[in-house]
Structure 1
Amino acid sequence: MEEYVVLVNPKDEVLGLMEKQQAHINGLLHRAFSVFLFNDNGEMLLQKRASAKYHSPNQWTNAVCSHPRDGENYLDGAKRRVKEELGIEAELSEKFNFIYKADVGGGLWEHELDYVFTGSYNSEFNLNQDEVEEVRYISMENLDKEITENPEKFTEWFKIILEEYKHHF
């Protein structure tokens, strides 16, 4: 099944729909969301993207990042993907939004109006292996160290969103 993204202008006004991979090839601005989940120890959940993903396979990133469907709001899209990828339900709250553009290799670009949500989760996961290879929690201190020492192991957009997140908190 083809997936479509919602193309927007910087004011989040809808311009139309485009097949997801084509939008990433063309580097067109589209709607997205990113979810940061934390456990009771304040550690951030990371997911390792599945090896079959068409871009950024086997790289670590935030708990969930994806795109709302046409007619779906950002929060509902985020909750849907948390369930589809991690097999869980979590209460999420919107923290901020911003626009970024990142070269993700292979002639593909992430150019997104990204709404960032946070939540907490402290139980088991039921991972969708088509999406997620594995998950782990990490302290912010150790995360910063890992990204500095091995930036290639993390998605380009996660590094950008993480820096933006730090500016807000």
Structure 2
Amino acid sequence: MTNDEHVVLVDGEGNPVGTAPKAAVHGTDTPLHMAFSSYVFDREGRLLLSRRAGHKQTWPAQWTNSCCGHPLPGEALPAAVSRRLEYELGLVVESVDLLLPRFAYRAVMDNGMVENELCPVYRAIVSVEPTPNPDEVDAVRWMPWKQFADTVMSGELDISPWAREQVPQLVALGPDPLTWPVGDPARLPAAVR
């Protein structure tokens, strides 16, 4: 990642309204912007969890889904997912599928730092082990999907606020993450269609 990487700012309907430097966009008054979340699975249906690096600006050292990020201006979301998975986890993915095209969330850390994102959710399939980038990820672990979902839904697993909101919506797609229906790209926010 370069220091001049920009994120796409959007209005409440998902229309692009400009860009801003990624390094400057997150604060106590974070504008709504485009992001994505990805859930990486192996062929056995195990989910790859990651723990965010301890020096991250938002939710440091927090366990979360596999990888999150921001599309660059003009970048297609599947390409952004693949780019970040390679950068953060050293993964080359076999497939990237849209699951939740309209997911959005706003979360506030104890220190007042805000995340405010339109954040479509993707599934990626891999057949290789991750090699985490320590600039982004402190640790990883594989977990069977049902075990992960059950521990998130029961509150037993301390997980990022976005994953806590995403998991019930993913559970509603069915018990087998490898057979979840693919979302309609026409439902994505206009900024990334």
The answer to whether the superposition gives a TM-score over 0.5 is yes
Report the Cα distance in structure 2 between the residues aligned to 1:150 and 1:165, rounded to whole angstroms: 16
The equivalent position to 1:128 in structure 2, one of 128, 133, 152, is 133
Could you give the per-residue CA deviations for residues 5-41 of structure 1, whole angstroms, max 9, x where no partner exists?
A: 2111233211111233543321321101111111222
Q: Higher strand fraction: Structure 1 or Structure 2?
A: 1
Q: Kindly indicate whether the alpha-carbon contact (under 8 Å) linking 1:104 and 1:155 is maintained by their aligned counterparts in 2.
A: no
CA spacing shift, 1:24–1:161, aligned 2, 3 Å: farther
Q: Kindly indicate whether the alpha-carbon contact (under 8 Å) linking 1:10 and 1:99 is maintained by their aligned counterparts in 2.
A: no
Report the Cα distance in structure 1 between the residues aligned to 2:143 and 2:70, rounded to whole angstroms: 25
The equivalent position to 1:74 in structure 2, one of 74, 77, 81, is 77
Equivalent in the alignment of 1:11: 13
Report the Cα distance in structure 2 between the residues aligned to 1:124 and 1:140, rounded to whole angstroms: 17
The equivalent position to 2:156 in structure 1, one of 128, 149, 166, is 149
Could you give the per-residue CA deviations for residues 33-83 of structure 1, whole angstroms, max 9, x where no partner exists?
A: 111111222111101111121221111111110100111121111111011
Report the Cα distance in structure 2 between the residues aligned to 1:19 and 1:104, rounded to whole angstroms: 21
CA spacing shift, 1:16–1:159, aligned 2, 3 Å: same
Please report the TM-score for the alignment, with normalisation by the length of structure 2.
Answer: 0.78
Identity within the alignment, % = 31
Report the secondary structure of 1:105's partner residue. Answer: coil
Report the Cα distance in structure 2 between the residues aligned to 1:138 and 1:35, rounded to whole angstroms: 15
Equivalent in the alignment of 2:145: 140
Report the Cα distance in structure 2 between the residues aligned to 1:128 and 1:137, rounded to whole angstroms: 17
Report the Cα distance in structure 2 between the residues aligned to 1:163 and 1:28, rounded to whole angstroms: 26
Q: Does 1:41 align with 2:40?
A: no
The equivalent position to 1:94 in structure 2, one of 86, 92, 98, is 98
Runs of 4+ in 1 over 4 A off after TM superposition: none
Please report the TM-score for the alignment, with normalisation by the length of structure 1.
Answer: 0.88
Structure 1 gap segments, 5+ residues each? none
The count of residues paired between Structure 1 and Structure 2 equals 167
Structure 2 gap segments, 5+ residues each? 175-193
Could you give the per-residue CA deviations for residues 82-108 of structure 1, whole angstroms, max 9, x where no partner exists?
A: 110011110211122222211233211
Equivalent in the alignment of 2:190: none
Report the secondary structure of 2:119's partner residue. Answer: strand
CA RMSD of superposed structures (Å):
1.8
